[in-house]
Structure 1
């Protein structure tokens, strides 16, 4: 597996890949994870192959490995001391993708590429001058990646062209949700994109479900928001909606990030009727416990998520969701209060409706089949089938 960031760094893709690795190993497979070396102390695993890297954030949490001949030589030497690979699984969007596809091309190996990132939306939300960034990214891809049939015909400098180039080097393409898979197909990234959800640890899910109280704990409606506190996640609009809705509720904010200080200031100066608690970053098992205890999880990003893990984790535990992204609401299928548009007023109205239903004992219920369909063991079995087809297609 190839990743843009070390699996012990923070991030949803890293959590998913650690889980995938463990369940593949549990099924008897040998996994090597290739990623930039982490620049802080972290747990080591013999499956990790750390590439020379440069820290790219002030907290040294994230790093970059430059794709090129020097990295290729280092990787080939390190992989030469391990068992031969049968398949390359790229779960990266930038330098990790380039390094992985270059390795596969050198050694004649099939590639399965999981697309985690809506590149155009992500860059627009996080980078100044996004059109220039996308032009530079496509130019970098043309230089760094092996030649692909038809790549020159899709060289328009946008996010979809970049993903098309990666897909044309892959024997199979997967995505973590139906809505993202269909969008990739509609933009010509691949003719067929297989849907394989990112899953939840079977053991952790069973423990969390067995610890659930037999009935709702008394008290005011309890909402939970969790995630990275960055603009695309829309924490501040959520807090503005909590304030304007005037709901009497408990609101717990789990996570951290650049907007934490602004979020605290907004709550302090506005004095909402709801009690807003900033819980900080929590261990995964404790996060699931709090999801199970909440009356509803609130999902606020729009167009950015390629799956939206939090609401699926919550649904697996029987907790419904207030959902801003219509694609995610459709993927869940049930157990949601849907926000009608991207305005704060619409989000406030959905919060009022949810609080009213919860207080009256008329909460909505998630699809009960999600818990079983979301187990990592079932997701690993589905991915192994993709690997087997990719390998067989090259024989």
Structure 2
């Protein structure tokens, strides 16, 4: 098959979705398929790749890391001209939330191609966390979608059957009366609605299949009437990197105090500062390593200096991926603190693949993992402090919880690529 992916940002730019798409591309090519990636041109030096189709773009951040390609007739003509030598195309895979989604759906509609749309982002939560006037931004975004998406204002609801494909591991429990009501009425309300769910419904209506990187996000999409059924395909971990990490000779736990790792972007939605407040309040005797960077880095260091915790807190900064995995494998537990923001929660799955359990604040992520967690009762600092005390005591006593051993195999990118290929084949066959 020839799969054409559309992205909001160039795959060589920074970001979790870009990392995931690079991995998907590589494993699709390894499986014998052809991939083209259509994305805004990057405004800095980056590795070249014949699979990249770079659209004209304008930088939108001071560091020129991220760019925008304007969806419209001029961009449509450019993409069609550049794709001429790459035809034929079998399926369009939109993995974008904004301009990349508009451009991808417009391309598919012009050429009568089936669309698989992966929804990586809780648009409502993401915009609320990053924009000063989120309701206004969502109104503008919905108006933009009505203007540029093909038939978005009057598109018929997604007609996909709600029957799950064979082998789908998604939770199939009844969504309840509220969920059925949302699915029944959500699509009818989309035309005039201006929230994040209405926006995602507009994209789903133009897609033959919608996928999500976790069952909890899939259920949320279904309950808000985005589409009747969502295929769950986790973002995975590179098989080669995982094999290298697992090939290291197993040994007895390294002596010392319990070791915790917090990993992520230092921004409010990730809740680093409440985590450090909980470390201070808990009084645990442990080693805490904070990996990552971001705007709250300075505030985090000041908080630790003022709070003088019993634990030793080390700020490691940004680390290469392989080194990050090594430290996750060496830790006694990883700590996950965001709530309601993550559509998957990659860090805890990477840790579980390496045999490392997690302290988990988000109940949806805890449910997805299934085992190997110390759960946090609520979103308060005292509840997180209590969970850290329990984890510390269990680790020190040699009775730490263990993650589900099957995650290491289920999380491999090769298995995730095979699952996505099944989705591609289904939508292509349905269009014949």
Q: Which TM-score applies when normalising by structure 2?
A: 0.90
Which residue pairs with 1:145 in the alignment? Answer: 149
- Asked if residue 312 in structure 1 is aligned to residue 319 in structure 2, the reply is no
Stretches of 4+ aligned residues off by more than 6 angstroms: none
Which residue pairs with 1:54 in the alignment? Answer: 58
- Asked if residue 366 in structure 1 is aligned to residue 403 in structure 2, the reply is yes
Q: CA separation in 1, counterparts of 2:249 and 2:89?
A: 42
Q: CA separation in 2, counterparts of 1:277 and 1:149?
A: 54
Matches within 5 A, 1:1-395: 1-147=5-151, 148-150=155-157, 153-155=189-191, 156-211=193-248, 213-395=250-432
Q: Secondary structure at the residue paired with 1:189? A: coil
Q: Secondary structure at the residue paired with 1:32? A: strand
Contact kept, 8 Å, 1:212 with 1:292, in 2: the verdict is: no
Q: Deviations 1:202-233 (Å, cap 9, x if unpaired)?
A: 11101001125422111111111111111111
Contact kept, 8 Å, 1:3 with 1:96, in 2: the verdict is: yes
Q: CA separation in 2, counterparts of 1:67 and 1:342?
A: 40
Q: CA separation in 2, counterparts of 1:275 and 1:369?
A: 33
Contact kept, 8 Å, 1:297 with 1:314, in 2: the verdict is: yes
Segments of 5+ residues of structure 1 without an aligned counterpart are none
Deviation at 1:93, TM superposition (A): 0.6
Q: CA separation in 2, counterparts of 1:132 and 1:9?
A: 28
1:309–1:372 Cα change, 3 Å: same
Deviation at 1:30, TM superposition (A): 0.5
How large is the Cα RMSD of the aligned pairs?
1.1
Segments of 5+ residues of structure 2 without an aligned counterpart are 158-186
Q: CA separation in 2, counterparts of 1:321 and 1:105?
A: 44
Deviation at 1:37, TM superposition (A): 1.2
Q: CA separation in 2, counterparts of 1:158 and 1:250?
A: 43
Q: Which TM-score applies when normalising by structure 1?
A: 0.98
Q: CA separation in 1, counterparts of 2:96 and 2:298?
A: 30
Q: CA separation in 2, counterparts of 1:178 and 1:330?
A: 9
Q: Secondary structure at the residue paired with 2:86? A: coil
Q: Deviations 1:286-308 (Å, cap 9, x if unpaired)?
A: 11111100000010100000000
